[in-house]
């Protein structure tokens, strides 16, 4: 192991060096890559040749932690969170019992308890770490089903259950409806306003219409930070409808739920304490390694009710309170808590708040530039970490692809109401205002150099 650790440190130093020199990995077609890097399995490798091929793999792998990567809802690298993650890999505990995870259980419980407290849910609340935002949505739908029709847990879904979410919500809702036995056709996509926000009157109208047809509304999934625009649904208003019609409200904060760490921005999810469940991804706004996804439940019993199962070969010591397997989806479950705990322990509440505030400041900086520069048309909304724009006369999907293949920048495009635009995502709190300025400089220089190609297309 000791030699492997030395090799590991060497490889990491190499990676950091590569990231500095080539922040955007050289684009290579997948077919060519297999020839360039020896990925074939079969024969054994000497340690030296293994290190050599690993170095090649590191070089060609897309770099998501650099200041040229804006493509996804995660990016950057918080060193203290990486430290926690590496330790959890070495420790390799599974989080189901106190017997095999010891203090790691208490660490997970501390993170959950602090989140519940900041959200005002500490009284009856509970939570778990799940494999990602998609799974958080899934688990909330299962709890909604079980609390509405308790026998569905034992005999299968009874009656026609109907779920509601906005047309801008995450695609996992559709898959989850299928996994839960609800069926994809039984999701109602509620229309959104010009800012991508769910229209609450439409939600109520749809629920009423389903009730008159003898259907059973059971679940609303509101989004705190929609995947494309970064829009926040009005949670308080939706929660009133949900209560009135006895419907479970889940708030999908995978992208931007972490605003609750900031006094300045937590108003974006005001009313979250009225929701039945809430999830957020620390691997998005808070910059921890993937995955670090938290699901919080207002009435902790619901989590236990849907996800506990007896297993005499597993639960042999301690009580359910310390055996986290009784409230999680998985059996063996990796330790996703330690990385967030290590980061949080290091920077405190204040540090997390500053990260959130910094992201909004970066987004505001980018938006201001877009709005005040005549090359651009702004398609974004206020208070969003997704800065959406087009460069006049340039096709956004062409531009993003060309920037990526030329090794300049990695950024993606999205669309809303038939308009396609560049979506610059500001989720790396290590970025500076200068990094944002540099982004636009590179983009503009690229467009200038390709005027001919653009004019001909
Ligand atoms: C990213 C995202 C998800 C999915 O989260 P994963 O961790 O990638 O599964 C769900 N909902 C929203 C709004 C997201 O932005």
Q: What is the per-residue pLDDT across 279-312, written as a single tens digit (0 to 9) for each?
A: 999 999 999 999 999 999 999 999 999 998 888 8
Query: DSSP secondary structure string, 381-434?
Result: -SS-SEEEEEETTS-HHHHHHHHHHTTS-EEEEEEETTEEEEEEE---TT--HH
Give residue 256 CA to ligand 1 midpoint distance, Å.
Answer: 10
Per-residue pLDDT at 311 = 81
- pLDDT > 70 fraction of the chain, expressed in percent and rounded: 100
* Residue whose CB lies within 8 A of the most ligand 1 atoms, among 170, 228, 386, for a mutation test: 170
Please report, rounded to a whole number, the percentage of residues in the chain having pLDDT higher than 90: 93
Rounded-to-integer distance, Cα 149 and Cα 161, Å: 9
pLDDT of 456 above 90? no
Distance 261 CA to ligand 1 centre (A): 19
Q: What is the dihedral of CA 134, 137, 142, 144, to 10 degrees?
A: -170
Greater model confidence, 30 or 212? 212
**pLDDT tens readout for residues 146-178:** 999 999 999 999 889 999 999 999 999 999 999
Residue-level pLDDT at 298: 97
Instruction: Supply the pLDDT for residue 84.
Output: 98
Q: What is the pLDDT of residues 251-276, one digit of tens each?
A: 999 999 999 999 999 999 999 999 99
For the chain, give percent helix, strand, coil, nearest 5.
50, 15, 35
- Mean pLDDT for 337-344 is 98
Using the mean position of ligand 1's atoms as its centre, give its distance from the Cα of residue 10 in Å: 33
| Residue 314 binned pLDDT confidence (cut-offs 50, 70, 90) | confident
List CB contacts of 149: < 8 A, sequence separation 6 or more: 157, 158, 159, 161, 216, 218
Q: Considering the chain, what is the average pLDDT of its residues?
A: 96
Q: Can you tell me the distance from the alpha carbon of 335 to that of 114, in angstroms, rounded to the nearest whole number?
A: 18
Per-residue pLDDT of 73-91, as tens digits, reads: 999 999 999 999 999 999 9
Q: pLDDT at position 457, please?
A: 79
Q: Can you tell me the mean pLDDT for 365-392?
A: 98
Within 10 angstroms of residue 345's Cβ, the number of other Cβ atoms is 15
Protein residue whose Cα sits closest to atom 10 of ligand 1: 133
Structure tokens, 210: 């389903």
* 20 membership: H or E segment, kind and range: helix 2-21
Q: What pLDDT does residue 106 have?
A: 97
Predicted local distance difference test score (pLDDT) of residue 318: 81
Ligand 1 and 336: CB distance under 6 A: no
């Amino acid at each position: 192991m000791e030699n492997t650790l030395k090799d590991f440190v060497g490889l990491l130093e190499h990676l950091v060096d590569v990231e500095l020199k080539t922040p955007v990995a050289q684009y290579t077609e997948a077919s060519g890559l297999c020839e360039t890097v020896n990925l074939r399995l079969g024969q054994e490798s000497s340690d030296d040749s293994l290190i050599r091929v690993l170095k090649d793999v590191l070089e060609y792998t897309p770099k998501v932690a650099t200041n040229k990567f804006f493509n996804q809802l995660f990016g950057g690298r918080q060193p203290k969170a990486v430290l926690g993650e590496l330790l959890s890999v070495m420790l390799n505990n599974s989080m189901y019992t106190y017997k095999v995870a010891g203090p790691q259980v208490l660490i997970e419980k501390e993170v959950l308890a602090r989140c519940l407290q900041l959200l005002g849910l500490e009284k009856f609340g509970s939570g778990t770490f799940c494999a990602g935002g998609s799974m958080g949505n899934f688990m909330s739908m299962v709890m909604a089903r079980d609390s509405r029709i308790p026998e569905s847990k034992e005999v299968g879904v009874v009656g026609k259950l109907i779920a509601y979410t906005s047309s801008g919500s995450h695609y996992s809702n559709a898959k989850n409806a299928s996994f839960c036995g609800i069926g994809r056709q039984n999701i109602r996509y509620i229309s959104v306003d010009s800012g991508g926000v769910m229209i609450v009157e439409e939600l109520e109208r749809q629920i009423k219409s389903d009730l008159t047809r003898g259907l059973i509304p059971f679940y609303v999934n509101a989004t705190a930070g929609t995947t494309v625009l970064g829009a926040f649904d009005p949670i308080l208003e939706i929660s009133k409808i949900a209560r009135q019609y006895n419907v479970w409200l889940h708030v999908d904060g995978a992208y931007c739920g972490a605003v609750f760490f900031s006094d300045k921005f937590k108003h974006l999810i005001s009313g979250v304490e009225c929701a039945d469940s809430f999830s957020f991804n620390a691997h998005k706004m808070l910059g921890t390694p993937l995955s670090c996804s938290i699901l919080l439940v207002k009435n902790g019993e619901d989590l236990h009710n849907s996800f506990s199962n007896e297993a005499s070969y597993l639960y042999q010591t301690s009580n359910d309170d310390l055996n986290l397997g009784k409230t999680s989806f998985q059996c063996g479950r990796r330790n996703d808590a330690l990385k967030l705990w290590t980061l949080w322990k290091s920077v405190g509440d204040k540090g997390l708040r500053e990260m959130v505030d910094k992201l909004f400041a970066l987004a505001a900086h980018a938006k201001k530039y877009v709005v005040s520069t005549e090359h651009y048309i702004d398609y974004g909304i206020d208070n969003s970490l997704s800065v959406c724009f087009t460069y006049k006369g340039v096709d956004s999907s062409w531009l993003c692809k060309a920037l990526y293949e030329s090794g300049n920048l990695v950024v993606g495009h999205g669309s809303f109401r038939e308009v396609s635009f560049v979506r610059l995502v500001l989720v790396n709190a290590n970025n500076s205002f200068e990094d944002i300025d540099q982004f636009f400089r590179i983009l503009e220089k690229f467009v200038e150099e390709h005027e001919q190609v653009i004019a001909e297309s």
